[in-house]
Each structure stands twice: as C-alpha cells, then as structure tokens.
Structure 1
Amino acid sequence: MLQLDEDRFLVEQLRLILGNVARTVIPVISLAILLCVFLSNDSNAWALRLWTVAAIASNLNGYFYTRRQVLGGIPSERAHHIVWMLMLLTAIDGALWAALPWITLDTASPAGSILVVSVIAGMAAGAMATQSQVLVVFIACVIPEIGISAMKVWLRFSVVANTRRWQ
C-alpha cells in the first residue's frame, strides 16, 4: 500500500515537471538566440552558433519527450524510467548551458561577463522553479551547470586577479 501511494505521488510530481517544460520552450530558445547575437565576436562566432543550435535542439528534444509522455499518460510502473530519462536530458541541458561561459568569457566585455554569469544563475533558478518537484531531476541539471560554469568563472577571474597582482 505504501509503495502504491509513493508511485502515485511520483506520477503527480512528474505531471508537474512535464507540464512546466512546455512553458519554458519559447523563452529558452529566445534567450539562446539573443545570447548568440549579443555575445558573438570574431573569435567565438562559430562556437557560439554551434552552442546555440545545440541548446535549442536539446530544449526541443526535452519538449518533445515530455509531450510524448504527457499525451501517452504516465503509468506508475514507468514513472522511475521517466525520472531517469529526465535526469539524463536535464544533465545534458545543464552541461550545454555550462558551456556558455567557456565559449564567451575569455572574449566578453565586463558587461558581457556579467550577462553570462547572470544567465547561468537565472537558468539554475529556473530549473529550481520547474524541476524541484522531483529533487534528483533538479540536481541532475544544476550540478553540471553550476559546477562546470563555476570552474570557468574561477579560472577566468582568478587568473585576471593573479596577473593584476604582479603588475
């Protein structure tokens, strides 16, 4: 009886997450395109365009996957499989967004750097708002996103700080 209730609870949590994905498609695609337009320069144009296409493709893939699940219904016996798939999809999405600082920070203006770091923080906040119903899905997205981004920010700004000390 307890397992049955937990499975029903998980199915309802998944319905919430799957419903949230549809609301994020247009804003995320718009954001990726705008970032490509405003942060692109001669040294990162190719990589940033490739990142934009990958971020949009990942977002659309997640949308179509979740749409299929909602339209087909979520049987309790498949709920754990859906959670694993969402963890995989959101981890890929988080890693893609974490690539943005690696592509842009070395050549971005100070305002561009602030924009990139703000976008990463905003994406993490958006993940919390849309995916926190199933904590492992949220964690699967945020750990690569924040971890990989933080490495680049630390490397970029600690190197700048270290070189300024010697001047």
Structure 2
Amino acid sequence: MNDVRWLSAQELHTWVKLEVIAELLPAALDQPLQRDHNLNHFEYIVLAQLSESDRRTMPLTVLAARTSATLPRLSHVIRRLEDRGLVVRSTSELDRRVTLATLTDAGWDLVVRAAPTHVASVRDVVIDRLTPDQLRALDQITDAMLEALDPGDRKGLRQACGEKAPAPDGV
C-alpha cells in the first residue's frame, strides 16, 4: 500500500464532482425524453445511431459498440423498440450470422421529433452552462479521458468527428 498515489485534497474534490455528474447526467437526459416521447436516453441513442447509418441499418455488434452496450442489453432494447414498431431485425444477406437492426419509418419520425428535446436538454445541462473557453477545455479534457477509456475508438467517435482513428496494436 505504500506505493499507492493517493489523491490530493484538490484531486479528490474534483473526482467526487465528476462522479456525481456521471450519476446525475443520465437521469437529466432521460427525463425530458421520457416525458415528451416515451423514450429513455439509451433508446434515443440507439434510434439516433440507426438514423445516422447507411440505409438506417446497422449490425447489432456495431450498434452495441457504438452505444457501449452489451449484446444482451442491446437485444433487449431492440426487442422493446421492435414491439413499438420503431425498429426491425433481419439477417444480413451477405453473412447469415449477422443480425441487422433497421430503423422503420415510425422510428425515423420519432427520432426526428425527439431530437430537439434531446438537444435542448444537452444545451440546458451542459453546453449553455459553459463559456466558449470552458467548452474548449472540456473538449480537451474529454479527449484525454477517451484516450484512456477508448484507445481503439470502439465507439467510432474519432471517425465520426473526422479525426484519424488510431492504428490497431502492432501496426
């Protein structure tokens, strides 16, 4: 235990605030979507990912990576969205082992209606609370944290932002 680098008082103070934000943010983003569109934040993210993909279709394995979900969790959510007519599942014609999720027209309509609610929540809770300098600093901070949490760009964030994705290990 002598080699443990304990947090300083300032580090601990900052860390605790980040933990609280990580706990409170999902509920703050869930509430307006639930109230106005009968969607939770994760369901919205699934629909949004599909809405932005080619032909509104994505393999479940890719969708799971993009949403940081396990396949069982994603499968359960996809089933709920299917029951509501928002998504359909199918088997890939190119590889019968691959299951695809496709956003239906009803799913598209819902995500289009829900997007302004989501953006308003993000603005209210995060973006509009920060000065331009703070926003740039937050961007740099999140880049540094993502380097540790997602070094291989599993979520495809760097690619989506037009950045060069890191080379695979050993290349």
TM over 0.5: no
**TM-score, structure 1 normalization:** 0.28
Q: Which has the higher contact order (CA 8 A, sep 6+)?
A: 1
**TM-score, structure 2 normalization:** 0.28
Which is richer in strand? 2
Which is richer in helix? 1
